[in-house]
Amino acid sequence: MPNPTDTFLSGSNIDFIEGLYARWLEDPASVDPSWRELFSGTSPGGRPLLGSTDGRPGQTNGHPANNGSAVSAKGANGHGAPAATAPARGQVVTVGDMPAALAAMQLQARVDQTLYAFRLRGHLLAQLDPLGRPRPRMNHIADLAMASDAAFSPEELEQVVDSSEVFSDRKRVKLRDLLSRLRRTYCGHIGVEYMGLLDSGRRRWLMPRMEHTENRLDPSKAEQRRILEKLTYADTFEAFIHTKYQGAKRFSVDGGESLLPMLDTMLELGGELGVEEVVIGMAHRGRLNVLTNVLGKSPDQIFSEFNGPVDPRKFMGRGDVKYHLGFSSDVTTSGGKRIHLSLAFNPSHLEFVHPVVEGRARAKQQRLEGQDRRKVLPLVIHGDAAMAGQGVVAETLNLARLRGYDTGGTVHVVINNQLGYTTDPEDGRSSIYCTAVAQMLDIPIFHVNGDDPEACVHAMRLATEYRQTFQSDVVIDLVCFRRYGHNEGDEPSYTQPLMYEAIRHHPPVSELYARTLAGEGRLSAEDAEAIREEAKRHFLQAYNLAKETPQLREPSAHEGLWKGFRGGPEEGIPEPETGVPRATLAPLLEHLARVPPGFTPLRQMGKILERRAAMARGELPLDWSAGENLAYATLLGAGTHVRLTGQDTERGTFGHRNAVLHDMKTGATFVPLQALGAGQARFEVYNSPLSETGCMGFEFGYSLDYPDALVLWEAQFGDFANGAQVIIDQFIVAAEDKWRRLSGLTLLLPHGYEGAGPEHSSARLERFLAMSAEDNIQVCYPTSSAQIFHLLRRQAIRPWRKPLVVMSPKSLLRREEASSSLSAFTSGRFQRLISDAPAGGESKVTRLLLCSGKVAFDLLAARGKAGDDTVAIVRLEQLHPFPEAQLRAEIARYPALQELTWVQEEPENMGAWSFVLPRLTGRVSATGRPLPLRYAGREASASPATGFQKTHELEQMLLVDAALSRGQPDGR
Ligand SMILES: Cc1ncc(C[n+]2csc(CCOP(=O)(O)OP(=O)(O)O)c2C)c(N)n1
Ligand SMILES: [Mg+2]
């Protein structure tokens, strides 16, 4: 017998019910009718007396008790009075002689408690490991016995109790049968975490689907055959490469082959439930297998990739390993539904593709009429070690329910082979499950034994239906093993000798399953063998084809949505005017200065809007905010979708943007850029969560599937972008070189030395420049409102799709010199270089100060103050692609030129200096004289900037002085 003090049936509940019971014995009319029903053992509505319908004990059909409860055997009782009749008034009730109804109630309460324990904690006892080893991290868990027969006496096990809807067809069942069904449902090959779901509707949705089936599939022979085929093709493919390309890295799925029938199920059922597209993200493990056996990439192409290029020169410095390549295809389900599949290209960096996949799915969904998210399903396949270890997973999961990021639920599958390279789960995570992080989303998590393919398929059916029904994420943890080393050249027994001893003797799933099917008379051994022979033939044919005619194809590019867009070198790309006629511009700006009738903005906001109206009338030059907002407004008006996200981006960290206005009286919001009028394209602006990697990855993904949109991600301060360094390094700068994937993502990174300290000064321009090559990205440092206007418009209007990195300003947002007159917007284009010749003309210029960004204004002021006519100042507004032709023309402009000086605010080891040095060295003047090159800027430093405002000012003064002073060869 269990110790009653271990249970929730203790303490005050017992006292309370005992008291009620005693009163009922005294006078049945003195207690609430519901209690009368209970104590007399009747239930007119035919409802269960105890036990709840959603599986939580204690929430019992409106009974007044806050917890369904039982009495311990110390109550008072009459002389064995029959349960249905109240004892005679004044009868003495004695201890240990409870009426049968009360005893039954007590048993039922314990049953309910046990039922609850199974539902809540049964997964801890589930048989998940194909290798049958003890679970990791379970030592501290007590009272597991609650979910077992041991909680009851042999006599109790024979009693008939309420089934609490565990059975679809029986209300009352023998306790023994109830417990065995619960054990099979919750402690078999599927363990499920779902009782934590806060919505009882969702618990109740899942409960019968699991309990009425004992959490098992009830497959037809045809379905079983299909499962076996998927398993057999999976391991035959791996075995084929294993023998033909010995020792080659393939990161085989062996040990986790059940993934294949699971994915097949997701598509088959998903198709029925309205899924039209699936965007897939996955790492190395099993990727080649999924490519050929799910996406239908022809195996000869994969084998050709193993063979490598016929001419290695063709891929110098580019391309990627075969297990990182993406692919897309259309598949047709057996029910005749066509589903478009895209497997995202991804880098080695585990899990970073997760936000990219979400962004891609969101973009596809946004294109749909009505934005029905059910039609596009993101599927992310994780590794157990990576899921638990990589923070990007948490950042991405946190996006799931945000209005700017929701993708209607992601299906997650973890290939949990219980190892990360050579690291055991005990060293890889603090949680029992590798999926623990996903619990934050309040979603069901299924853990399933990979050796039971039918259980795997069943879990996937539940997961797919759940996603389609509730538009929620859902996780399946596929517990399996890894047959070989981390890759096939690696010997796993160095570090996991016992595990691999067990694996050596463990047959493949296909074999186990074929044996089961044969044993049950569902499919003969000969039929199973025939499937294998067919699979072998299929791969051998492809192998021969790859040998005879190599199929090494470049990833296809610029198809579908991407038709008409271009990557590659900038040369030859048209550069249209980006000016907009005044007749269009002025009314737009006026519009951006207005609020709807009855809308009360903050008083200060009213002033800002008045200034904007004055700009529209041509009375004031346009500030940065006007320039930026006008870029969006004009693009939206011309049909370009604009999406802008980042931390506090709606207002703008420095308060300049005010894209979302707030009514002081009602709290209502108004977005002027969404109210431009009929026919405008969609403008989305969202404050993002406090994440860089997750959010930037998402926007990169969005840009992949929305080439015709202007997609911008803004950093709070430029430094914080390094929180997303992997997204920058692995995706943004290299996607085209590795995968021929283009993106027009724009990063707005506030940058500039203003004394704000080491962390709020630098967007690490040097890093972007170090990664600039082959016209892969555009790195710009615009210094006026007209420049940002033309730059953003150029980004959307040109067919050239390249990421744009903008060193965007902080103080310049309000600095007068950064404003531009309306006429600067009505014609022209982005200037890659801005030249300021001195008042005295070009002929006197002997020195050219080259710089980028806001330091130009400091130099201009100092030159003006000194009245120096010998210095010309040139701002590079674009650093990459480097404006070579313009610079050449600039140097040629000054016949008396004697030297060049590079001026920057950043320390010498940072900023653009290292990038421009080789590009400025060896220049000659118009007359052929070699031009010495000087550096004027902060000294090399480990940290980007000083923490003291006064020191900053001193440094700034010294560097400007050094730049303008003559005759100090190194400028210091
Ligand atoms: C961010 C990152 N760090 C380290 C690695 C090196 N690495 C590649 S695979 C791997 C183990 C991954 O384990 P798991 O996620 O369980 O996947 P499995 O290989 O077991 O399928 C490691 C550490 C990597 N690829 N990415
Ligand atoms: Mg693993």
DSSP, residue by residue, 833-880: EEEE--TT-STT--EEEEE-STHHHHHHHHHHHHT-SSEEEEEESEEE
10-24, 253-267, 479-493, range with greatest mean pLDDT: 253-267
- Token reading at 224: 């079983």
DSSP H or E stretch at residue 954: helix 949-964
Report the SS3 class of residue 99.
coil
CA–CA distances in Å: residue 618 to residues 33, 612, 627, 820: 81, 10, 14, 11
- Name, in order, each residue with C-beta under 8 angstroms of 238's C-beta and a sequence gap of 6 or more: 250, 252, 253, 254, 289
Q: Which residue has the tokens 């296909």?
A: 510
Q: Cα-flanking dihedrals φ and ψ of residue 939, to 5°?
A: -70, 160
- Which atom of ligand 1 is least distant from the CA of 389? 15
Residue-wise pLDDT tens digits, 397-416 = 999 999 999 999 999 999 99
Decide whether any atom of ligand 1 lies within 6 Å of the 420 Cβ.
yes
Whether 45 has a pLDDT exceeding 50, the answer reads no
Q: Cα-flanking dihedrals φ and ψ of residue 406, to 5°?
A: -55, 135
Cα–Cα distance measured from residue 475 to residue 192, given in angstroms and rounded to the nearest whole number: 10
Q: For every residue of 247-301, which 3-state class applies, written as one string?
A: CCCCCCCCCCCCHHHHHHHHHHHHHHCCCCEEEEEECCCCHHHHHHHCCCCCHHH
Decide whether any atom of ligand 1 lies within 6 Å of the 383 Cβ.
yes
Centre of ligand 2 from the C-alpha of residue 282, in Å: 13
Centre of ligand 2 from the C-alpha of residue 358, in Å: 23
Cα dihedral 517, 519, 520, 522, rounded to 10, equals 40
Q: Which residue has the tokens 């490469």?
A: 241
Q: Whose alpha carbon is nearest atom 17 of ligand 1?
A: 383
Decide whether any atom of ligand 1 lies within 6 Å of the 582 Cβ.
no
Q: Cα-flanking dihedrals φ and ψ of residue 291, to 5°?
A: -55, -50
Cα–Cα distance measured from residue 13 to residue 109, given in angstroms and rounded to the nearest whole number: 12
The pLDDT of residue 41:
57
The pLDDT of residue 13:
52
Centre of ligand 1 from the C-alpha of residue 392, in Å: 14
Report the SS3 class of residue 674.
helix
- Token reading at 389: 């270890």
The pLDDT of residue 20:
73
In this structure, what DSSP letter does residue 800 have? B
Q: Which ligand is nearest to the CA of 386?
A: 1
- Token reading at 382: 């994780």
Single-letter code of the amino acid located at 296: G
Q: Whose alpha carbon is nearest atom 9 of ligand 1?
A: 421
The pLDDT of residue 319:
85
Site to probe by mutation for ligand 1, drawn from 384, 421, 503 as the one with most ligand atoms within 8 Å of Cβ, is: 421
Q: Whose alpha carbon is nearest atom 26 of ligand 1?
A: 349
Decide whether any atom of ligand 1 lies within 6 Å of the 384 Cβ.
yes
Cα–Cα distance measured from residue 367 to residue 401, given in angstroms and rounded to the nearest whole number: 19
Cα–Cα distance measured from residue 104 to residue 4, given in angstroms and rounded to the nearest whole number: 16
- Could you tell me which of 105, 106, 75, 71 has the C-alpha nearest to residue 93? 75
> Do 187 and 147 contact (CB within 8 A), yes or no?
yes
Cis peptide upstream of residue 347 (ω within 30 degrees of 0): no
Band (57; pLDDT cuts 50, 70, 90): very low
Percent of the chain scoring above 70 in pLDDT? 90
Centre of ligand 1 from the C-alpha of residue 326, in Å: 19
DSSP, residue by residue, 140-165: T---GGGGSGGGS-HHHHHSEEE-TT
- Could you tell me which of 714, 696, 718 has the C-alpha nearest to residue 763? 718
Whether 511 has a pLDDT exceeding 50, the answer reads yes
The pLDDT of residue 554:
72
Decide whether any atom of ligand 1 lies within 6 Å of the 417 Cβ.
yes
Cα–Cα distance measured from residue 954 to residue 553, given in angstroms and rounded to the nearest whole number: 58
The pLDDT of residue 144:
62
The partner residues of 517 in beta bridges, in order of sequence, read none
- Which atom of ligand 1 is least distant from the CA of 421? 11
Decide whether any atom of ligand 1 lies within 6 Å of the 478 Cβ.
no
Decide whether any atom of ligand 1 lies within 6 Å of the 659 Cβ.
no
CA–CA distances in Å: residue 202 to residues 199, 273, 455, 469, 730: 6, 18, 21, 10, 39
Q: How many other CB atoms sit within 10 Å of the CB of residue 826? A: 17
> Do 378 and 361 contact (CB within 8 A), yes or no?
yes
- Could you tell me which of 768, 746, 765, 918 has the C-alpha nearest to residue 854? 765
Whether 519 has a pLDDT exceeding 80, the answer reads yes
Decide whether any atom of ligand 1 lies within 6 Å of the 278 Cβ.
no
In this structure, what DSSP letter does residue 648 have? T
> Do 466 and 192 contact (CB within 8 A), yes or no?
no
- Could you tell me which of 304, 161, 182 has the C-alpha nearest to residue 241? 304
- Could you tell me which of 169, 184, 29 has the C-alpha nearest to residue 118? 184
Residue-wise pLDDT tens digits, 29-39 = 887 776 777 67
Whether 870 has a pLDDT exceeding 50, the answer reads yes
Band (6; pLDDT cuts 50, 70, 90): very low
> Do 803 and 779 contact (CB within 8 A), yes or no?
no
Mean pLDDT, to the nearest integer, of 119-126? 92
CA–CA distances in Å: residue 644 to residues 691, 784, 790: 15, 20, 17
Q: What is the mean pLDDT of the chain?
A: 90
Percent of the chain scoring above 90 in pLDDT? 78
Q: Whose alpha carbon is nearest atom 13 of ligand 1?
A: 420
Mean pLDDT, to the nearest integer, of 603-610? 94
Residue-wise pLDDT tens digits, 90-112 = 444 444 556 788 888 899 999 99
Residue-wise pLDDT tens digits, 802-825 = 999 999 988 888 888 999 999 999
Residue-wise pLDDT tens digits, 946-957 = 999 999 999 999
Cα–Cα distance measured from residue 455 to residue 509, given in angstroms and rounded to the nearest whole number: 13
The partner residues of 330 in beta bridges, in order of sequence, read 340
Mean pLDDT, to the nearest integer, of 733-761? 96
> Do 183 and 118 contact (CB within 8 A), yes or no?
yes
- Token reading at 806: 């903008």
Single-letter code of the amino acid located at 52: S
Q: Whose alpha carbon is nearest atom 2 of ligand 1?
A: 349
Q: How far apart are the first and last CA of the chain?
A: 87
- Name, in order, each residue with C-beta under 8 angstroms of 27's C-beta and a sequence gap of 6 or more: 86, 89
Angle value at C-alpha 771, between 769 and 777, nearest 5 degrees: 80
> Do 785 and 628 contact (CB within 8 A), yes or no?
yes
Residue-wise pLDDT tens digits, 642-656 = 999 999 999 999 989
Band (56; pLDDT cuts 50, 70, 90): very low
Whether 311 has a pLDDT exceeding 90, the answer reads no
Q: How many other CB atoms sit within 10 Å of the CB of residue 160? A: 14
Residue-wise pLDDT tens digits, 535-592 = 999 999 999 988 888 767 777 777 889 999 999 999 999 999 999 999 999 999 999 9
Q: Cα-flanking dihedrals φ and ψ of residue 182, to 5°?
A: -65, -40
> Do 232 and 510 contact (CB within 8 A), yes or no?
yes
Residue-wise pLDDT tens digits, 61-91 = 333 333 333 222 223 333 333 333 444 444 4
Mean pLDDT, to the nearest integer, of 448-454? 98
Band (859; pLDDT cuts 50, 70, 90): very high
Single-letter code of the amino acid located at 951: T
The pLDDT of residue 145:
62
The pLDDT of residue 3:
38
- Token reading at 410: 């992601």
